[in-house]
Amino acid sequence: MQYAEIIDLYKTDLKRYSLEQLRHISEKGVWSIAQMYDHMILTALDYLDQVQRCASASEEQHESKTEAGEDVFNNHSFPPIKIKLPDGPANNPSNAGTIDDLMRGLDFVLERMSQWEGKVRTINPNYKVRHDGFGWLNAKEWFEMVGMHFRHHLRQKAELNQRIGY
């Protein structure tokens, strides 16, 4: 599934939630659907900022991906596991977003993706930015991470839908 298709799927589903369903937290340590959407939007925008950093680079980086990074790109997906982010404000997504707020965020991600889609292959593949878990990634790889990240959260979305009786 291409990035536009997966984001459109999230947009279609977003329209079906009530505000109560969107913000429902079923238990401590489990995100609401709104928090999951907020996390995906902010992560996508961060990955696209890394694309920009690669495009703006002037020095080649010959370091490579970690073993985990190689696995992710060979499989074209994140591993099918739950990833616990470290505690801290950056890893506690907002639960205050409305459907319209989140829709605007998804539209902005789509807009930025379409701006970079045709350009990422033209950026020197040795202009890289380091990812904490996956090692040194170039613009094309950071771009691909957006779609992989949205696909990765489909399992979480299904689980959260069950928790709200959707």
* Complete domains list, the chain, with CATH: 3-163 (1.20.120.450)
Contacts from 17-23 at CB under 8 Å and sequence distance 24+? 17/99, 17/164, 17/166, 19/98, 19/99, 21/164, 21/166, 22/97, 22/99, 22/102, 23/95
In angstroms, the CA 6 to CA 46 distance is 18
Read off the pLDDT of each residue in 40-57 and give the average, rounded to a whole number.
97
CA distances from 115 to 62, 92, 110, 118, 119 (A): 27, 29, 9, 7, 8
% residues pLDDT > 70 (the chain): 96
In angstroms, the CA 13 to CA 21 distance is 12
Structure tokens at 47: 């990955």
| pLDDT above 80 (res 41) | yes
Q: Which pTM does this prediction carry?
A: 0.93
Read off the pLDDT of each residue in 61-83 and give the average, rounded to a whole number.
91
Q: Residue 165's pLDDT is what?
A: 85
Read off the pLDDT of each residue in 72-93 and give the average, rounded to a whole number.
79
In angstroms, the CA 129 to CA 136 distance is 6
| pLDDT above 70 (res 87) | no
Read off the pLDDT of each residue in 18-42 and give the average, rounded to a whole number.
94
Give the angle 164-81-50 at the CA atoms, nearest 5°: 100
**Average pLDDT score over the chain:** 93
| pLDDT above 90 (res 82) | no
% residues pLDDT > 90 (the chain): 85
Chain segment 102-146, per-residue pLDDT in tens:
999 999 999 999 999 999 999 999 999 999 999 999 999 999 999
pLDDT band at 79 (very low <50, low <70, confident <90, very high): confident
